[in-house]
Amino acid sequence: MIPAPAFLFDLDGTLADTLPDLAASTNHVRALHELPPADDATVREFIGDGARALLRRALAERRPDERALDRAFAAYVEHHEAECTRSCRLFQGAREHLVELQERRCPIAIVTNKPERFARPVVAHLGLDAFTDVIIGGDTLPTKKPDPAMLELALHRLRADRSTATMIGDGLQDLRAGKALGSRTIGCLFGYSEATKLRDEGADAFWSSFGVLS
């Protein structure tokens, strides 16, 4: 029997709209640095490379050194542990698509640059743990996407083959990681990255909304 193909999903901006919660914690840290709140559109541009990179971008006016970033990250963690599931929601069509993959017995994993300490509560809150217990976060390994190591670990835990795997995400780092792995890639145009940049990066397919080919 030929094994079913594996599907690796990004979380923020792909499976779930987590922007309001990310913005709330980002602006909490900005307020501690006497900076005005950033609007959602601006915070959206900070997302994709993990929480520490988000804070470096959010505090760019203050040009923080590594010690200042450590303090900012500690403040972010304290706030976001209480905030990370407050407003997040699945994108329309996500659950139905995952049910279909589950019925086809396709292995599923979530591979996100979001720290695992936040990814797992979000996954549980949204009921995504009904579809997978393989969750690779931005702090699971020393590297993050676009390094393909996170994807390789997910496939190892799924006992799945990279040659039939698909990486699905809304960020350039998702597509680049999938390509580096040698897997199929799907770019989510409805997520947090600019659609034109995703198209310029190239993918095997694009979704205009969850599961809907563009």
Specify whether 106 is located in the same domain as 11: yes
Distance CA 207, CA 214 (A): 5
Among the options 10, 21, 49, 174, which is catalytic?
Answer: 10
- 10 classed as catalytic: yes
Q: Give the pLDDT confidence score for residue 2 in this predicted structure.
A: 73
pLDDT tens-digit series, residues 85-99? 999 999 999 999 999
Beta strands in the chain (DSSP E): 7-9, 16-17, 89-90, 108-111, 135-136, 166-169, 184-188, 205-209, 212-213
Distance CA 116, CA 51 (A): 11
Position 65 in a domain: yes
Q: Give the pLDDT confidence score for residue 106 in this predicted structure.
A: 97
Specify whether 97 is located in the same domain as 144: yes
Please count the structural domains in the chain.
2
Position 150 in a domain: yes
Q: Give the pLDDT confidence score for residue 124 in this predicted structure.
A: 98
pLDDT tens-digit series, residues 178-212? 999 999 999 999 999 999 999 999 999 999 999 99
Strand 16-17, strand 184-188: pairing: unpaired
Specify whether 115 is located in the same domain as 61: no
Position 134 in a domain: yes
Series of mean pLDDT values for 10-residue runs along the chain (214 residues): 89 98 98 97 94 96 95 96 96 98 97 96 98 97 97 97 96 98 97 96 97 94
Specify whether 13 is located in the same domain as 24: no
Specify whether 57 is located in the same domain as 96: no
Q: Give the pLDDT confidence score for residue 39 in this predicted structure.
A: 97
Query: What CATH number has the domain bearing residue 154?
Result: 3.40.50.1000
Specify whether 125 is located in the same domain as 170: yes
Domain that holds residue 164: 7-17+88-213
Query: What CATH number has the domain bearing residue 26?
Result: 1.10.150
Q: Which residues of 192-207 are buried (b: 16+ CB within 10 A; e: fewer)?
A: bbebeebeebebeebb
Q: Give the pLDDT confidence score for residue 3 in this predicted structure.
A: 81
Give this prediction's pTM. 0.95
Q: Give the pLDDT confidence score for residue 1 in this predicted structure.
A: 64
Single out the residue in 83, 100, 133 at which a domain terminates.
Answer: 83
Position 2 in a domain: no
Specify whether 121 is located in the same domain as 104: yes
Specify whether 75 is located in the same domain as 143: no
Specify whether 164 is located in the same domain as 125: yes
